């Protein structure tokens, strides 16, 4: 079970990021917990400088922009 967090204050890009991770996870049948973090203090505590960012199992794997489908598939198959 992967623990995925999407950091972002609720702009359109953040929503698309959550959507693409959901899609890939259900297409590949990988069980995940997906959480969206909108609280600014929590977001900056991860040390990211641009949103949306993606955190998997406590590690920042992506920052600033919607991740590509290929990238998401890579994260979920690892």
Nearest CA-CA partner of 65 in 5, 11, 2:
11
User: By CB under 8 A, is residue 59 in contact with other proteins?
Assistant: no
Binding range to other proteins, per CB under 8 A, among 17-25, 26-34, 41-49: 41-49
**Among 26, 28, 68, 69, interactor with other proteins by CB under 8 A:** 68
Question: Which lies closer to other proteins via its Cβ, residue 27 or residue 44?
Answer: 44
Which residue is it, tokens 């959550």?
18
Nearest distance from C-beta of residue 38 to other proteins, angstroms: 11
Contacts of 30 (CB under 8 A, 6+ apart): 2, 24, 76, 77
Structure tokens at 37: 């973090």
User: By CB under 8 A, is residue 23 in contact with other proteins?
Assistant: no
């Amino acid at each position: 079970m992967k623990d995925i967090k999407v950091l972002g204050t609720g702009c359109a890009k953040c929503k698309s990021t959550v959507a693409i991770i959901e899609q890939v996870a259900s297409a590949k049948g990988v069980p995940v917990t997906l959480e969206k973090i909108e609280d600014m203090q929590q977001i900056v505590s991860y040390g990211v400088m641009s949103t949306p960012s993606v955190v998997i199992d406590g590690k920042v794997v992506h920052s600033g922009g919607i991740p590509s489908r290929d990238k998401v598939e890579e994260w979920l198959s690892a």
